[in-house]
Structure 1
Amino acid sequence: MTESATTRADSRRSAIITAAQRLAVDCGYAGFTVEDLARAVGVSRRTLFNHVSSKEEAVLGLLPVLTDEQAATLRSGGPTGHLVDDVLTVVLDCLHADDGTPADFEQLHDVIERNPELFVRVKTHVEELVTHLSARDDADDSRSRMALAIVGGIVQHSVVQCIATPSLGPLSDRARANLTTAREILADPA
């Protein structure tokens, strides 16, 4: 595929995701069909499926999946050797945290808030992470789930901050600052 064809395909996919998210916020996930989405974007159903594999993918975008290299790094105790830092690093990397804009984060946040049934797909990715983390020497199933819960809360809070106050900087910086705050709170003996 030529560079201009790739750019057009990326642009079309982005338009599909934007329209799907707008429909999910306005009508609810169950409130529109693939045909409605294709019509909103001005493409055929077939063209739509050349860019996304399902209605769910169109609404959520392609959720990040660990690469084989990231999974191997996590299983072997990396990338930093500290469980929560490793989870945060990999999650931010998978989310391409510094590529999104506050408007992107707000749109996806609204979609998930208004369509909780989509959270099931997100949970599938969490289970994949638990499997990889549980293979570490420093993490059994319970510790893996706790690390993911901590990081999930930190990332969620950081997204809300990025939406409310974009001048705070990129999501990855906010998340790391919030991890430091969480550590301070947990270390407080009171």
Structure 2
Amino acid sequence: MKKSATAARGERRPAIIAAAQRLAVTCGYSGFTFDDLAEAVGVSRRTLFNHVSSKEEAVLGVLPVITDAQIETLRAGGPTGLIVEDLLTTIVDSLGADGGTVEDWQRLHDVVQRNPELLARVQAYVDEVGGHLVTHLAQRTGVDEDVAWMGLTIAGGIVGRSVRDCIDDPTLGPLHARVQHNLALSREILTPRR
């Protein structure tokens, strides 16, 4: 039985990203071309453009996007009403939380380590998304920009540590579970002991 064209298309994008990341690690970001990538994946250059818009997108995958629905939920005080937890939910959902494998995270980590010029691009994108989140979060009743930035700083730290945990020790579980674990640790640290 043959796979449908739609199913094949859905499987190609992850294969393209994985191949681009392997090439970026072995050859460096500027050390391979789109033609090299097409050959590595076994498709035409034209087919690549059906799945990714640029070499950068192929190597990084699509960076997380915060949806309009997520923004509206944040503005309205949800999903939980707790700033840090709401930011964590939004960020983890936008990362595809448990959709990616530990190997995917490790490969992306290796790409950025090997190609520091990509780290600046990723950081600029993260800063832009963070500013966007803060702008909308500060529209909640009783939340000013300082509170929103601090909430984002705490949430970002928890997510960053959780991603690192997933890369360093895959047996610790999926990203969502690590985020919840690290959130609990943060609460212990910030809650006064009696």
TM-score by length of 2: 0.86
Amino acid at match of 2:120: E
Which residue in the other structure is 2:43 paired with? 43
In the alignment of these two chains, the number of paired residues is 187
Give distance in 2, aligned partners of 1:95 and 1:125.
12
Shift of residue 143 of structure 1? 2.3
Answering whether residue 132 of structure 2 is matched by residue 166 of structure 1, we say no
Give distance in 1, aligned partners of 2:192 and 2:34.
51
> Quick one: which of 131, 135, 148 aligns to 1:131?
135
Gaps of 5+ in 1: none
> Quick one: which of 117, 129, 147 aligns to 2:151?
147
Shift of residue 35 of structure 1? 2.6
Identity of aligned residues (%): 57
Assess, with a 3 A threshold, how the Cα gap between structure 1 residues 51 and 150 changes in structure 2: closer, same or farther: same
Greater shift in the superposed pair: 180-189 or 12-21 = 180-189
Secondary structure of the corresponding residue to residue 51 of structure 1: coil
Which residue in the other structure is 1:111 paired with? 111
Which residue in the other structure is 1:54 paired with? 54
Assess, with a 3 A threshold, how the Cα gap between structure 1 residues 64 and 26 changes in structure 2: closer, same or farther: same
Gaps of 5+ in 2: none
Pairwise CA RMSD? 2.0
Assess, with a 3 A threshold, how the Cα gap between structure 1 residues 30 and 165 changes in structure 2: closer, same or farther: same
Give distance in 1, aligned partners of 2:192 and 2:32.
49
CA contact (8 A) 1:112 1:118 kept: no
Shift of residue 188 of structure 1? 4.5
Give distance in 2, aligned partners of 1:178 and 1:97.
15
Which residue in the other structure is 1:177 paired with? 181
Secondary structure of the corresponding residue to residue 99 of structure 1: coil
Give distance in 2, aligned partners of 1:8 and 1:67.
26
Greater shift in the superposed pair: 82-91 or 117-126 = 117-126
Shift of residue 176 of structure 1? 1.0
Shift of residue 38 of structure 1? 2.1
Give distance in 2, aligned partners of 1:45 and 1:18.
16
Deviation string for 1:89-124 (max 9, x for gaps)? Answer: 111111121222211111122223333233223333
